[in-house]
Amino acid sequence: MTMNHTIETILQHRSIRHFTEQQIEAEKLKLILRCANAASSSSFIQCSSIIRVTLPSVRAKLAELAGGQAYVESAAEFLVFCADFNRHQQIHPAAQLGFTEQTLIGAVDTALMGQNAMLAAESMGLGGVYIGGIRNDPKLVSELLALPRHVLPLFGMCLGYPAKIPQPKPRLPLSIVVHQESYQSLDNAELEKYDQHIQAYYASRSSNNKQTSWSDQIRATLSKESRPFMQAYLNGQGFSTK
Amino acid sequence: MTMNHTIETILQHRSIRHFTEQQIEAEKLKLILRCANAASSSSFIQCSSIIRVTLPSVRAKLAELAGGQAYVESAAEFLVFCADFNRHQQIHPAAQLGFTEQTLIGAVDTALMGQNAMLAAESMGLGGVYIGGIRNDPKLVSELLALPRHVLPLFGMCLGYPAKIPQPKPRLPLSIVVHQESYQSLDNAELEKYDQHIQAYYASRSSNNKQTSWSDQIRATLSKESRPFMQAYLNGQGFSTK
């Protein structure tokens, strides 16, 4: 078997930002969470927690701090995925924590869980979007969710029934993303083709139509600082101190 | 539709460390890579690269540095998933790089790609295992794969046709992993039940039978340092310098 339901689900991914008011059935939500929990865990350390937020007042604050993303407030479900070594410290108060390596483990393992949750949801006709915007103000997120030291909120996830399904956004070609044997520098002809492809995609899409290439976007994004407070926040939470 | 092929694939996950000699068909490998590439990307920054390693001499060295994991050498495919901002620097030489936030984006987005690849493979009857062991000697990995500055090797992945399929390993219960509204401290009764469950699992499994609980493992693992060279390596590669 080559093409199958799983692969179709994966390839049809697009972020959903418009949801109907329909709630997610309890059984489906449970399956999504079980799927999240089935992901691989580095050395079986199981260092992730998911905070399910339903309180409207908290949702409203999270929507605002994420940059005014209204769907954080209105989506049927909003889950905050965290790297969590606090659990381990409760088990072993003398645990050696704070290693940068543990931040990497936490980020990777928690993202594996996130993607399982996203795909499980998508496979049942739901849609969702990752909300990196919770990292705009990780201190406030920590307060709102009562996150103790050694817990790091990495991303949020809105889930619900799609009201609008956009086209999938064309990704960089595999010829650029996949390298054979060793790192290959960027093939400018391939990049040029991709930039034209993306320009055509933005020009033709039904909403939020714009005139830009991927390289243009990268130049704009990376001319700015990228959440320069993150190192201090991590350190304050007991991450990446050594 | 609730239970479906995607959810079954996700829930049946177990790491495969024993492979037959069968190669992966080119068409299937291509689908796996396309699936990896279909994952969400934070602000569409597309900061991941995959290095496909087939050279036996390099595979042998990677297997050794990963702690003598022979399947890194023998699996049909071995892919190294990297956070990659070097591509962006090629496009925009003045790009602002080195932010800790970018390390988080790189780790999360690259892991989303990894999990798509893993599930696509599993959905077609293949199996695989994540190899965090490549972080035992990230400098040597960087040399072997000619990784330039701003490229961070995060994990490897062995893929192939399973020769032995172990039982899935019981995960922490959702009552511990999922928190409602805010962070809940560990429920010791739930942990105790889980520890007994894991102890029974280890005692009964067919190979690598042992006598330990999850809490015991955590106490042992976290009494040791966790790759204490990682911060210096990251900084040397141009990550998390600010």
Tally of CB atoms within 10 A around A108: 26
Please say whether the beta carbons of B166 and B205 come within 8 A: yes
pLDDT at B1: 55
B window 2-61, beta carbon within 8 A of A: 2-7, 9-11, 13, 15, 27-28, 30-31, 33-46, 48-55, 58
Tally of CB atoms within 10 A around B102: 28
**CB proximity list for A120: less than 8 A, separation 6 or greater:** A31, A32, A35, A36, B6, B7, B10
Kindly report which listed range (A30-44, B135-149, B170-184, B193-207) carries the lowest average pLDDT score.
Answer: B193-207
The Cα B177–Cα A109 span in angstroms is 13
Q: To the nearest whole number, what is the mean pLDDT of chain A?
A: 97
Token pair listed for A36:
């999240």
The Cα A56–Cα A74 span in angstroms is 9
pLDDT at A1: 55
The reply to whether residue B37 touches residue A226, judged by beta carbons under 8 angstroms, is no
Across the range B26-42, mean pLDDT stands at 98
Is B155's pLDDT higher than 80? Answer: yes
Tally of CB atoms within 10 A around A107: 28
Q: A113-152 pLDDT, tens per residue? A: 999 999 999 999 999 999 999 999 999 999 999 999 999 9
Chain B residues in contact with A54 by the CB 8 A cut-off are 180-181
Q: To the nearest whole number, what is the mean pLDDT of chain B?
A: 96
Q: A91-111 pLDDT, tens per residue? A: 999 999 999 999 999 999 999
The reply to whether residue B44 touches residue A217, judged by beta carbons under 8 angstroms, is yes
Q: Cα angle at A122 between A118 and A123, to 5 degrees?
A: 115
Is B94's pLDDT higher than 60? Answer: yes
- Hey, of B28, B115, B158, B159, which one would you mutate to test binding to chain A, going by the most A CBs within 10 A of its CB? B115
The larger pLDDT score, comparing residue B239 to residue A211, is at B239
Residue with tokens 């994990």: B155
Nearest CA in chain A to B92: A219
pLDDT at B215: 97
Closest to B155 in 3D by CA, of B114, B103, B99, B98? B114
Nearest CA in chain B to A53: B181
The sign one gets for the Cα dihedral A184, A190, A194, A196 is positive
Nearest to B31 among A7, A50, A124 (CB): A7
The larger pLDDT score, comparing residue B96 to residue A211, is at B96
Is B108's pLDDT higher than 80? Answer: yes
Phi-psi map region of A20: left, alpha, beta (phi>0 left; psi -120 to 50 alpha): beta
Backbone angles phi, psi at B72, to 5 degrees: -65, -35
Q: A26-82 pLDDT, tens per residue? A: 999 999 999 999 999 999 999 999 999 999 999 999 999 999 999 999 999 999 999
Domains of chain A: 5-167 (3.40.109.10), 174-218 (no CATH)
